[in-house]
């Protein structure tokens, strides 16, 4: 084993060295995430939306202790989240702007999501997941994820809104990729409250559709579909997708952000059931999901993959993982994905 003998290699607090800064963030990143959570909960980015303010004014508006808030803001400013200048006067930075509640491209919902007991406490038990490959939710909370949502309706409402928020970020981009005009009938499996399906049907008046998700989720679909004027063309059904009978007779079967919640075993089971219903009809399987960037490239999906390990028992997949899963289930990719992260994977039955 090599021994470090150069004293400079041991320096970890030299502000001029990027490596030293990164080492400290490795050690203190957990604290920084809590600092960001505090600033998000206090709404500091919204308070500063109209321009710089002294910390005492910020504290009064936020309902915080002035000196304590100053110390938190000073810490955040050291890594580019807000900026101090002149002394004890703070303003937004591009990073801090991402915490504004009116920023549709920001991360405020994600910060709040990551700091729920539901999502934070299981990470205290991450070693259990690493040693066993099992989610840590029941170990940390004493109950399955969905049961926790049922017993804590305010958390369930936030979780539902959070999922809808992210789901609706990419709709225009997704619709351009899918070319739904090819199909006369679409089965949207795990389609949530039907918002995405409603957009598809509005653009394709010749199409009929089937929508399936958990009963408490699709219960909201009636109003969504009615608001878009497409109710008459949709059959809605609720149940557990892991056990439900897959309907036959559709031109395309859509799984939008569904399979990454599932283990390979559950995903293969679902795909095999879809394959059985497709038969030799030529219907297509459309999977819109995460494809992990290869090698050491940055990809937020690699963080989501750890979430899937600890919280849900699912996984994010590389392109090779997807190919293997499809081949084992009776499908073949008909095109290479145009981008990594969230993208369309179109398959034909083989």
Q: Which of these is catalytic: 12, 260, 300, 341?
A: 260
* Angle, vertex CA 259, rays to CA 258 and CA 260, nearest 5: 95
CA 95 to chain centre: 20
**d(C-alpha 303, C-alpha 181), whole Å:** 35
Q: Are 328 and 320 in contact (CB under 8 A)?
A: no
- Per the document, the length of the chain is 350
Which residues does 329 contact at the CB level (< 8 Å), separation at least 6?
267, 268, 271, 272, 275
Closest by Cα among 75, 111, 78, 82 to 97: 82
Residue 76 in tokens: 């955040």
Would residue 37 show up in a list of annotated catalytic residues for this protein? no
User: 238: helix, coil or strand?
Assistant: strand
113 burial class (0-12, 13-18, 19+ CB within 10 angstroms)? Answer: buried
User: 291: helix, coil or strand?
Assistant: strand
Residues forming the active site? 260
């Amino acid at each position: 084993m090599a021994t470090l003998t150069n004293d400079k290699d041991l320096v970890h607090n030299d502000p001029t060295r990027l490596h030293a800064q990164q080492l400290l963030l490795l050690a203190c990143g957990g604290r920084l995430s809590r600092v960001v959570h505090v600033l998000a909960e206090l709404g500091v980015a919204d308070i500063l939306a109209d321009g710089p303010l002294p910390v005492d004014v910020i504290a009064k508006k936020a309902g915080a202790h002035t000196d304590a808030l100053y110390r938190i803001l000073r810490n955040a400013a050291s890594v580019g989240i807000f900026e101090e200048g002149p002394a004890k006067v703070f303003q937004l930075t591009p990073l801090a702007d991402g915490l504004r509640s009116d920023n549709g491209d920001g991360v405020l919902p994600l910060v709040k999501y990551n700091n729920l007991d539901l999502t934070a406490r299981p990470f205290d038990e991450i070693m259990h997941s690493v040693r066993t490959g099992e989610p840590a939710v029941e170990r940390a909370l004493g109950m399955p994820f969905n049961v926790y949502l049922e017993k804590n309706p305010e958390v369930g409402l936030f979780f539902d809104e959070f999922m809808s928020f992210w789901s609706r970020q990419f709709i225009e981009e997704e619709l351009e990729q899918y070319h739904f005009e090819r199909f006369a009938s679409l089965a949207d499996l795990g389609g949530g409250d039907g918002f995405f399906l409603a957009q598809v049907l509005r653009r394709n008046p010749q199409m009929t559709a089937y929508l399936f998700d958990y009963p408490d989720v699709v219960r909201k679909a009636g109003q969504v579909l009615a608001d878009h004027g497409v109710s008459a063309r949709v059959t809605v059904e609720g149940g557990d997708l892991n056990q439900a009978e897959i309907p036959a007779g559709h031109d395309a079967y859509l799984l939008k952000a569904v399979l990454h919640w599932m283990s390979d075993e559950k995903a293969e089971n679902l795909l095999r059931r879809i394959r059985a219903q497709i038969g030799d009809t030529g219907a297509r399987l459309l999977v819109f999901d995460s494809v992990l960037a290869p090698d050491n490239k940055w990809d937020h999906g690699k963080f989501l993959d750890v979430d899937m390990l600890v919280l849900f028992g699912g996984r994010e997949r590389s392109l090779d993982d997807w190919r293997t899963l499809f081949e084992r289930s009776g499908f073949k990719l008909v095109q290479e994905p145009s981008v990594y992260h969230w993208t369309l994977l179109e398959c034909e039955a083989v």
